[in-house]
A and B are shown apart, each in its own frame.
Chain A
């Protein structure tokens, strides 16, 4: 059973470009979460999605950031017009549908975004 997959693992963008980060949850998981880890900091929650629905986006910056989890395919975190402050590691996690197990999240290896 493959774990949570993220790609690319490393992404370099110039200021003003767009960054697209992809996450495929574990098989059988329908809940996806995105977290950001800035240098020297812990992880901060960004957004929680189910298939075709955003459940909680309270941690998402108001501008330039968006996330989706379509019926088919991976979840996408999109950052438009990137700035140097967006440089960070972005982690995706997934959890099962079972409500009793949903609090346990399984993390992917992360995408390390560097904005030049």
Chain B
């Protein structure tokens, strides 16, 4: 089974400074990786996804992530934080799972989340 580890449960930055949210994954093959964001009491919004094309993936709201196979990492970055970026961020891997009927590609495995705080 695949797994993801988010290395920081909380990250605090000042507005206008860079953001780095760290994620490591464990996979026996080349996985599909995602970052989702969750604002308080809201659903999850897809920020970006990696599916074995370009290793540097650009997402919405100025976020990007780089897939590094040698380091099994998929860190999320943004050059300049905005107050509206304050939220919880989840690193996610698509986990093909075997079941009685075959292989399911519907199972997303989530990291524990990183809460990003942005100070004025």
Interface hits, A82-107 → B, CB 8 Å: 91, 93, 95, 102-107
Interface size on A, residues (CB 8 A): 27
Which residues of A have CB within 8 Å of B94? 103
Q: Which of chain B's residues has its CB closest to A46's CB?
A: B107
Residues of the B chain whose Cβ atoms lie less than 8 Å from the Cβ of A58: 97, 99, 107
- Is B80's beta carbon under 8 Å from chain A? no
Query: Which of B73-120 touch A at CB < 8 Å?
Result: 90, 94-95, 97, 99, 101, 104-113
Could you tell me which residues of chain A, from 37 to 62, have a CB within 8 Å of some CB in chain B?
41-45, 48, 55-56, 58-59
The answer to the question of B46 belonging to the interface, with a C-beta cut-off of 8 Å to chain A, is: yes
Q: Kindly provide the distance from the CB of B47 to the nearest chain A CB, expressed in whole angstroms.
A: 12
Residues of chain B contacted by A25 (CB below 8 angstroms): none
B44 within 8 Å of A (CB atoms): yes
The answer to whether A109 touches B104, judged by C-beta atoms less than 8 angstroms apart, is: no
Smallest beta-carbon distance B10→chain A, Å: 12
Q: Does A31 contact B (CB under 8 A)?
A: yes
Task: Report the interface size class on chain B.
Answer: 20 to 34
Which of B42, B90, B94, B106 has the most chain A CB atoms closer than 10 A to its own CB?
Answer: B106
B43 close to A108 (CB less than 8 A): yes
Chain A binding surface, main DSSP class: strand
Name the CB-closest residue of B to A105: B108
**Smallest CB separation, B108 vs chain A (Å):** 6
Q: Report the separation of the CA atoms of residues A71 and B105 in the bound assembly, to the nearest whole angstrom.
A: 22
Q: In the complex, are the beta carbons of A45 and B101 less than 8 A apart?
A: no
Report yes or no: A42 in contact with B104, Cβ–Cβ below 8 A.
Answer: no
Q: Collect the chain A residues with CB atoms within 8 Å of residue B112's CB.
A: 41-42
In the complex, the answer to whether B51 meets A107 with C-beta atoms within 8 Å is no
Q: Find chain A residues with CB under 8 A from B43 CB.
A: 4, 91, 107-110
- The 7 A-B pairs with the shortest beta carbon distances in the complex, nearest first, are A48-B106, A56-B104, A42-B110, A107-B44, A109-B43, A43-B110, A107-B43
List 17 interface pairs A-B (beta carbons < 8 Å), by A numbering.
A42-B90, A42-B110, A43-B44, A43-B108, A45-B95, A45-B107, A45-B108, A48-B104, A48-B106, A55-B104, A58-B107, A93-B108, A95-B106, A103-B32, A106-B46, A108-B43, A112-B41
